[in-house]
Structure 1
Amino acid sequence: MLQLLLVDDEMSVVDTLAHTIPWKSLGIGEVHKAYSASEALNILNMHAIDIVITDVRMPGTDGLELSRLISRQWKHTKCMLLTAHAEFDYARTAIQNHIFDYILKPIRDEELIERVVRIIEVIRTERETHSVVQRAMDAMREHVPRLRGELLHDLLQGKRVPAGKLEEKLRMLEVPIRMNDGIAMMLIRYKEQFSDYDPFEMSLMEYAIFNMAEETFEEGYRVWCCKDVYDYLAIVLIPKTETEESADDLEERLNRWTNQFQMNVRHYLKRDVSVLLGHGGTFPADLLKMYHNLLLLFRKRFGNGQDLPLYVAGGGELADISTLQSLNEPPALLHLMEAGDWTAIETRLEAILSELEERWAESPEHLMEAFFALYAAFSNLAHTSGRKMIDLIGGDYLPVKELLPCKTVAHLGEWTRSVFGKFRQQARNENSTARLAAVKEAQKYILSNLSYDISVQSIADHLRMHPSYVSRLYKLETGENISDYITKLKLEKSVMLLKTSAKKIYEISEEIGYHNPHYFIKLFKKYYGTTPQDYRNSQM
């Protein structure tokens, strides 16, 4: 139930309104009374008032000033003014003070009730809307940590996100980082084999380690965390503020915190981890390079050993990681091919060829890497379709033996586009064959059921397809609507019966699935320009 506050310096007005209007029937559970603006403010401070009805002319703080204070401090409280002045200036000021409504004295009960009901409806609508939005926001907040981790995971896998879109995602997920901010990064690996944990234990451990990182580095850094595809825990360290400390002091402090972090995990979580702290860089330009350097250093310095080192990369260990980003970024080319998204496949292939041309045209290794990756993806697509590569690409299979596509980017591009074209055409042919088979099956069903009331739904059920898809498919393949085809066949059968049998018109109508003879006669005349009986007479 809502709460109402009546304000007027005339006590009789307040008391009369409080006791003569059936407030409870309107949805007002409690009515408060105030005889001045100061008294009204005291009540507002003590109770959750939903509606305030106040006189304009009061000594001291008047109704307009009171409404202004309410709009500033109690934004969801609705105000209605009682005034004997109909001048425009009052109405304009009231609107500026977010007054919901105003009513002129003398007050009629019916009009006041009507205005209050209107306010109550607005309040309820606002609360329902707010409830829906709040539930959505609560659900969003609940999933924000996971979504933050997924975004970092995607970026570490090389997913390309346009700068504007990335800024929007960072803002929406409240990631405390801006474009071109300086960052540091570290990777964490458990001592134990991952098979030692069940998934629930692993998720709890990750959550605890990430919390430990936040606590350990909170004096100077915010953290952004995720688990990568190798089950390493990746942590991006984002400086909170710029500092005038020297680079050596900053490095020494970060190294000290990193060492403390490893000891905290060991002491509080009873788990031993290997920690690798890498070089600083700029977000997002250096993020992928920093990550690949850490992976490389993990392989070089730690290997498969479980000796629990804490390693800080030296200045000379920053390698220029030269990967083909467009070849490896998600979604994988293999997955695009499995999905049959030929437009996306073509876009990815052209991106790979463009990157090769721009950066690795003189690198035989990169050309060979790209060729074998493309060949593997095409082979997998062929084999999952129950075919062999040589059967699908014919002459393009022969250059593979001499690795001709690996000679230059131009050779690889020529081979790739040719093979892609053959695969896409094969898929189109298979789709066309499948569509044609579906049309033939639909026609067969119609011919077998002309005596019944055939609908698109019954045909779709027979084909195990959606009715809308059946209609579009039939129109696409034949150029006519399936309903027109059904009508045509039924009427053709009726013509045959009119010529060769002595059945009555209503019997013929029943035999072709029209249980209303008048409808059959009307339809027949529309198609043939004559009635069924006149047509029969003309054939005698």
Structure 2
Amino acid sequence: MLQLLLVDDEMNVVEALASALPWQEVGIDKVHKAYSATEALDILKTNAIDIVITDICMPGMDGLQLIEQIQLNWKKTKCILLTGFAEFEYAQKAIQNQISDYLLKPVSDEEILSRVKSVVELIRKELETNETYQRAMQALRDHLPRLRGELLQDMLQGKRISPVKLTEKMRLLEIPNGFQEEFVLLLIRFKEQFADYDPFEMSLMEFAIGNLATETFEEFFHLWLCKDVHDYLIILITPNDKLKGLMAEKSKGELKYQLERLANELQLNVQHFLKGRISVLISQWGMFPDDLTKLYYNSLSIFRKRFGDEKDLPVYTADESESADMNILYRLYEPPMLVHLMDAGNWGMVQQKLESILEELELFWPESSEHLTEAFFSIFASFSFIAHKNGKMLGELIGNEYARGKELAPCRTVQSLRAWIWNVMERLQIYTNSETKNARESAVQQTQKFVQANLTVDVSLQAISESLQMHPAYLSRIYKLETGENLSDYIYRLKMEQSAHLLKTSTRKIYEVAIEVGYQNPNYFIKVFKKHFGITPQDYRTSSK
């Protein structure tokens, strides 16, 4: 996501460039606006700016001085200089040594877009060849097995990922499985011979078994491995291109025989090379990814029934007739868990999670008092956790009537559970929002107090954030959320109001008023004052008499 910053003291120029050009067509996702070099520096401190387009002639710090600061503090940021013909010689040094490109006024929209597109392509090429990027890609490759395993484990647990995101993740992690492709699961449990291993030795053993599995199956199958929450090794197996070419000639029975043969070979290899025993179950066939979670839970159930605590059973292949309906509330327990979403304060996701749980109850368990009670107590526990973490009892936040659940009335129907959930949610959000608002209001008040006290000294975003011990980006964001006004606009407005007051009530010279409100350059002060009030400071003073 590339970001562009436009800098010019002529507000109409900045606004026209920002709103009129199709920046996304040349690879720019976000456009920032600044009307002075000082404001530009504040934006650079709080945003990852990739490209800056700046005019040369600006009051106070000019464009060349701004570029010097950018080169010093944001070395990867590319600068494009906007210059007039008369300024060209003045800008030659910067053009030769410091900037990526320049635009000579007057300039057409097409030329601006063309130059920016060239810089965007340069940034992307640099990223691809950047040493840091290459190290990151190498680290990604080094950790591919773990990252693949984490993705598979999330999916086994029921985490829902959109087809677009899943496809992109699988491509990035170099996983060859395709959508609507047949698969089986191998569930492998380690025997007691490995019980005395420490965690490091156990991880080496898991790695060794995974390697043996890959060597055993790779001629005909793709393998995707992970360790699940029960400490089983789970292997998702799909036919590779070689096997697909032969499958037309093979029956399902022959395919089942080959899987059993290879699973038996794996079992023997582990016993021979690693001196330990494993139990192996081959699941029924399913379609990826739709059947994955259901097939996994069904296979766990079959594993428990068929193996128990037995030590020397051969490989077991689940029969299609063993596919049982699971009476599980999948959405209640699938990641991310409700309590984790509430702990993070992600109320939008909390509402989506609760709605999905209620939807599942309505679709599959509308008459089941057990499922309704299970959902109620699980949700009640999450609500209580949040209250207790805030040093409160749930009854204090939502009222004892709702905290008791009206003697389990919510468990009677889905509709009554829904009504209880949204009533509690409304009360919880009122409480948490009031806490957040109080903290934000306090930060805004402290900010305004600092600005008012330091108007003639340093009221930069950095100075304010250091005084309040807040991150500049956070401070800037909450100020805008709370007041609807940018902090820089508030400071500018305050300076204009103060200067107008001084012009009305004192006999100080114009340059003295400028210094009093923090402008060291009187000419720049006169320019911004006229832009704000429509008349010069002297005319304003005269008209006020």
Amino acid at match of 1:437: S
Q: Deviations over 1:288-345 (max 9, x none)?
A: 2221122223444445x47354451554543212222222222222221122122111
8 A contact 2:498–2:517 mirrored in 1? yes
Match of 1:464 among 446, 469, 472: 469
Q: Is the 8 A contact 1:524 1:532 kept in 2?
A: no
**Deviates most, 216-225 or 520-529:** 520-529
Q: How far apart, in 2, do the equivalents of 1:138 and 1:517 lie?
A: 55
Query: Does the 8 Å CA contact 2:264/2:315 hold for their aligned counterparts?
Result: no
Q: Which amino acid aligns with 1:260?
A: E
Whether 1:265 and 2:270 are equivalent positions in the alignment is yes
Is structure 2 residue 382 aligned with structure 1 residue 377? Answer: yes
Taking structure 1 as reference, are residues 248 and 455 closer, same or farther at Cα in structure 2, changes over 3 Å only?
closer
Residue of structure 2 in register with 1:187 after alignment: 187
Match of 1:319 in 2: 324
- The one-letter code sitting in structure 1 at the alignment partner of 2:159 is K
Structure 2 SS opposite 1:266? helix
Deviations 1:453-501 (A, max 9, x none): 43333112212234454345435434553213541574488479849xx
Does the aligned pair in 2 maintain the 1:223–1:237 contact within 8 Å?
A: yes
> Which of residues 387, 396, 402 is equivalent to 2:392?
387
Aligned counterpart in structure 1 of residue 346 of structure 2, from 333, 336, 341 = 341
CA distance in 2, matches of 1:234, 1:340: 33
Whole-Å separation in 2 of the counterparts to 1:249 and 1:152 = 28
The code of the aligned residue for 1:188 comes to: I
Deviation at 1:350, TM superposition (A): 1.2
Q: Which residue of 2 aligns with 1:483?
A: 491
SS in 2 for 1:294: helix
Matches within 5 A, 1:14-53: none
Q: Which stretch has the larger CA shift, 509-518 or 354-363?
A: 509-518
How many angstroms apart in 2 are the aligned matches of 1:483 and 1:424?
Answer: 33
Please report how far the alpha carbon of residue 206 of structure 1 lies from its aligned counterpart in structure 2 after TM superposition.
2.0
- Tell me the secondary structure at the aligned position of residue 495 of structure 2: helix
Q: Any conservation in 1 of the 2:373–2:411 contact (CA below 8 Å)?
A: yes
1:489 and 1:292, CA in 2 relative to 1: closer, same or farther beyond 3 A?
Answer: same
Match of 1:283 in 2: 288
- Which runs of structure 2 are paired with 1:198-237 in the superposition (5 Å)? 198-237=198-237
- 1:425 maps to 430
Cα distance, 1:226 vs structure 2: 1.1
Which letter does structure 1 place at the counterpart of 2:388?
Answer: H
CA 264–478 in structure 1, closer or farther in 2 if over 3 Å, else same: closer
Instruction: Give the % identical residues.
Output: 47
Tell me the amino acid that sits aligned with residue 293 of structure 2: L
Give the AA of the match of 1:307. Answer: K
Q: Are the aligned partners of 1:505 and 1:532 in contact in 2 as well (CA < 8 Å)?
A: yes
Query: Which SS does the other structure have where 1:187 is aligned?
Result: strand
In structure 2, the residue matched to 1:442 is 447
Letter in 2 for 1:483: I
User: 1:415 — aligned with what?
Assistant: 420
Deviations 1:259-291 (A, max 9, x none): 221121121122332323333333333322221
CA contact (8 A) 1:399 1:405 kept: no
1:146–1:334 CA distance, 2 compared to 1 (3 A) = same
Match of 1:157 in 2: 157
- Counterpart contact for 2:282–2:318, Cα < 8 Å: no
Unaligned runs of 5+ in 2: 1-122
Q: Is the 8 A contact 1:456 1:483 kept in 2?
A: no
Corresponding letter in the other structure for 2:396: D
Which of 255, 261, 280 is the aligned partner of 1:256?
261
Describe the SS at the equivalent of 2:410: helix
Alpha-carbon deviation of 1:401? Answer: 4.9
2:201 is matched by which residue type in structure 1?
E
Alpha-carbon distance, 1:202 to partner: 3.3
User: 2:144–2:173: 8 Å Cα contact kept in structure 1?
Assistant: yes
How far apart, CA to CA, are the structure 2 residues paired with 1:331 and 1:195? 31
Equivalence for 1:178: 178
Name which one, 1 or 2, has greater alpha-carbon Rg: 1
RMSD across aligned C-alpha pairs, in angstroms?
A: 4.1
Shift of 1:380: 1.5
Instruction: Determine the C-alpha separation between the residues in 2 that align with 1:194 and 1:270.
Output: 9
Inter-CA distance 132–258: structure 2 relative to 1 (3 Å threshold)? same
- The AA in structure 2 aligned to 1:482 is Y
CA contact (8 A) 1:275 1:310 kept: yes
**Deviation at residue 193 of structure 1 after TM alignment:** 8.9
Matched-pair contact (CA < 8 Å) for 1:396–1:419: no
Compare 240-249 and 315-324 and name the one that shifted more: 240-249
Deviates more, 1:503-512 or 1:466-475: 503-512
Structure 1 residues 411 and 454: alpha-carbon distance in aligned structure 2, compared to 1, 3 A threshold: same
Distance 1:179 1:468, change over 3 A: closer
Q: TM-score, normalized by length of structure 1?
A: 0.64
Aligned equivalents of 2:168, 2:461: Cα separation in 1: 46
- Aligned partners of 1:522 and 1:531 also within 8 Å: no
Per the normalisation by structure 2, the TM-score is 0.64
Give the counterpart letter for 1:312 in structure 2: Y
Question: Which AA in structure 1 matches 2:181?
Answer: D
8 Å contact kept, 2:226–2:234 = yes
Determine the structure 1 residue equivalent to 2:115.
Answer: none
Separation (CA, whole Å) in 1 of partners of 2:197 and 2:482: 56
Deviates more, 1:485-494 or 1:227-236: 485-494
Separation in structure 1 between the aligned mates of residue 194 and residue 494 of structure 2, nearest angstrom: 63
Cα distance in structure 2, aligned partners of 1:462 and 1:406: 52
CA shift digits 1:190-245 (9 cap, x unpaired): 23498844544333322211121122234543322111122211012323331555
Q: Distance in 1 between matches of 2:273 and 2:325?
A: 37
Q: Give the letter for the 1:477 counterpart.
A: E
1:94-133 → structure 2 map (5 Å cutoff):
none
Paired residue secondary structure (2:231): coil
Question: Is the counterpart of residue 454 in structure 1 residue 459 in structure 2?
Answer: yes
Q: What SS does the aligned partner of 1:402 have?
A: helix
Matched residues in 2 for 1:268 and 1:257: separation? 16
State the distance in 2 between where 1:403 and 1:363 align: 14
Aligned to 1:145: 145
Give the length in aligned residue pairs.
Answer: 411
SS at structure 1 position matched to 2:234: strand
Change beyond 3 A, Cα 1:182–1:468: closer
Residues 234-249 of structure 1 mapped to structure 2, 5 A cutoff: 234-239=234-239, 240-241=243-244, 242=247, 244-245=249-250, 247-249=252-254
CA distance in 1, matches of 2:540, 2:158: 76
Distance 2:355 2:144 in 1: 35
Provide the C-alpha distance between the structure 1 equivalents of 2:372 and 2:409, rounded to a whole number of angstroms: 11
Larger deviation, residues 145-154 vs 481-490:
481-490
Offset at residue 434 of structure 1 (A): 1.4
Which deviates the most, 363-372 or 393-402? 393-402
